[in-house]
Structure 1
């Protein structure tokens, strides 16, 4: 017997990817409901190769009898409707930032901390981490288990899809405009994004960090280890889909490149492609549409004691959002935590 599943924010880039991922992975569903704002009600979205769903209004939807809801509508909307769904008996997996740092809401990457899912009963809400955090902790987990990471310095190279469809449209229109000498007027970003890099994602905080950089630090500590130190610089780059990260890690004990490579090769969700030759690494363009976190350029960092560096890329709409949410649901089924509530 399958589940009744609602996808909230179904008309957005992540919502559409959630629907696609549920179908591709053959998650056991009896019924899928597409939900979005009232202005999107009545529009249609695809589910699988041959099904079309008519979008319903989130404001009017009664979650009673719905077993699982995958949320990606924006934090302010999740703040209102995720608790409403949970109170109706629905299990919520929320992709927004709204609940990530709540003490009684588990923040989960299935390859890293599946045991945390048991805490979901307090609120019936599970938080999906930030896209840039997800791919980093998937790669860090096997290394941390091997030698215990104490400090991480990471620079991210994040695609515009992380800022939504309008941001993708802005990159497209600005890129096209450059070739016909149109002025690039930023709307979604603080500066032109075409042929440019912007070292600014989310709002600035009092210490000079951006909220995106803060998220990577606090989420990594909640997911992986409360004692790990993380310093991040988050950069938006003119790529449509896929985030890249240059990660520098310090460990408690020496760790060789060979040990690290072997641990990463055996880790779930990780693919190592690391040849010391032209093209012997994976880029954002190549990871788009893929499920794995790809790791390349594994090197010893001789500037710090017990240092190691690597490059990792992942599709931020899939592993960084939709896929991780569906994998959480799959893990809940495996652990017997998600069961039919509908009559």
Structure 2
């Protein structure tokens, strides 16, 4: 027996990717419904070889459905996720709304799959921020071996993390560079993103950090260990898909780079590509469409006693969003909503 699954926000980048991944991974679906706002009502999306028409989220009855993968903004989630949950459908939410709620588990299956059982408090499970998701996949196996004290991370995040309009803005601005007559002003971002980098993701906070940077700190602590100190600088770069991260890790005890490389090679969800030669590493363009989190440039940090540096790359629409949500659904099915 399979599950009755709802995908909310099925016409967006992440919603469509959720449908692709559910089909690719052969998730046991008995019935699937695709929902969108009224302005997208009737839009067709694909699920494997099947074409589906979106239904109206505002009038949908979640009764009898097993799980709903939400890929809409926080405002719509705030309104409709509690309705779905109250009607007995487990919500797996990709927005930031519930990530910091102590009664809602924040799950990256490679790191804390057992915590999924905490869903019963509100019938809701949170999916982490895209930049956090790939980082903790890399950190967790190393933390289990040598216990991490501190992480310093700089991100290089693609525009797809901001949605379709951001991708279009990068494309139009890039074309305009070669045709200056057609100037394309910045709308999605505060400055032009084409041939540029912007050290600003989400809103600024009182201490000078941005909300994206704060998310990486808070979520890493909730997923792995509250004692880990994290400092982040999050940067938007002119890449369509794929987030990259330069990560510096300080451990409580010494961890040799060769042992770290072996640990990461054996860890779930990770692919190590680490050759000390031209091209012996992975770039964001190469990770697009892949399930794995790629790790390269593993090396000792000689400036501290127990330090390592590494480079981490992943498809943010997959591991950073849709894939992680589907993996949560798989864990939920295995541990809680068992059928057959």
Q: TM-score, normalised by structure 1?
A: 0.98
Partner of 2:187: 187
Aligned runs of 1:289-308 on 2, under 5 Å? 289-308=289-308
Decide whether the 8 Å contact of 1:329 with 1:338 is kept in 2.
no
Distance 1:61 1:118 in 2: 26
Give the 3-state SS of the residue equivalent to 2:59 in structure 1: coil
Count of aligned pairs: 338
Aligned to 1:241: 241
How far is 1:177 from its partner?
Answer: 1.1
Instruction: Confirm or deny: 8 A CA contact 1:160 1:167 kept in the other structure.
Output: yes
Query: Aligned equivalents of 2:4 and 2:276: distance in 1?
Result: 48
* Residue 184 of structure 1, CA deviation: 3.3
Q: Equivalents in 2 of 1:203, 1:227: separation in Å? A: 26
CA contact (8 A) 1:93 1:325 kept: yes
The structural deviation recorded for 1:183 is 2.1
Cα RMSD (Å): 0.8
Structure-1 residue corresponding to 2:331: 331
Cα separation, 2, equivalents of 1:127 and 1:81: 15
Task: Please give the per-residue CA displacement for 1:172-194, whole angstroms capped at 9, x wherever unaligned.
Answer: 11111111113230000010000
Question: TM-score, with normalisation over the residues of structure 2?
Answer: 0.98
1:51 aligns with 2:50: yes
By how many angstroms is 1:332 displaced? 1.4
Q: C-alpha distance in 2, partners of 1:187/1:64?
A: 40
Residue 172 of structure 1 corresponds to: 171
Find the residue that maps to 2:141 and give its secondary structure: helix
Aligned equivalent of 1:120: 119
CA distance in 1, matches of 2:265, 2:43: 44
> Structure 1: which 4+ aligned runs deviate by more than 4 Å?
none
Instruction: Give 1:153 deviation, angstroms.
Output: 0.3
- SS across alignment from 1:113: helix
> Could you tell me whether the CA contact under 8 Å between 1:138 and 1:269 is conserved in 2?
yes
1:114-166 per-residue CA deviation (whole Å, 9 max, x = no partner) reads 11111110001000000000000000011101100010000000000000011
> Which whole-Å deviations, capped at 9, do the CAs of 1:219-272 have from their partners, x for residues lacking one?
000000000000000000000000000000000001110110010000000000
- Equivalents in 1 of 2:248, 2:188: separation in Å? 30
Give the equivalent residue in structure 2 for 1:103: 102
Check the 8 A contact 1:199/1:235 in 2, yes or no: yes
SS in 1 for 2:235: strand
Gaps of 5+ in 2: none
Counterparts of 1:108 and 1:217, CA distance in 2: 15
Structure 1 runs not aligned, ≥5 long = none
Matched residue, 2:262: 262
Query: How many angstroms apart in 1 are the aligned matches of 2:313 and 2:338?
Result: 34
Cα distance between partner residues in 1 of 2:2 and 2:116? 20
| Match of residue 208 from structure 2 | 208
Partner secondary structure for residue 277 of structure 1: coil
Q: Secondary structure, in 3 states, of the residue corresponding to 1:112?
A: helix
Tell me the alpha carbon deviations over residues 51-106 of structure 1, each in whole angstroms, 9 at most, x when there is no partner: 11100110010111111100011011111111110000001100000000000000
Please state if 1:91 is matched with 2:90. yes
SS of 2:151's partner is strand
Distance in 2 between residues matched to 1:297 and 1:176, nearest whole Å: 33
1:183 and 1:248 mapped to 2: Cα distance?
A: 39
Aligned to 1:150: 149
The Cα of 1:339 is off from its aligned counterpart by: 4.3
**Aligned residue in 2 for 1:24:** 24
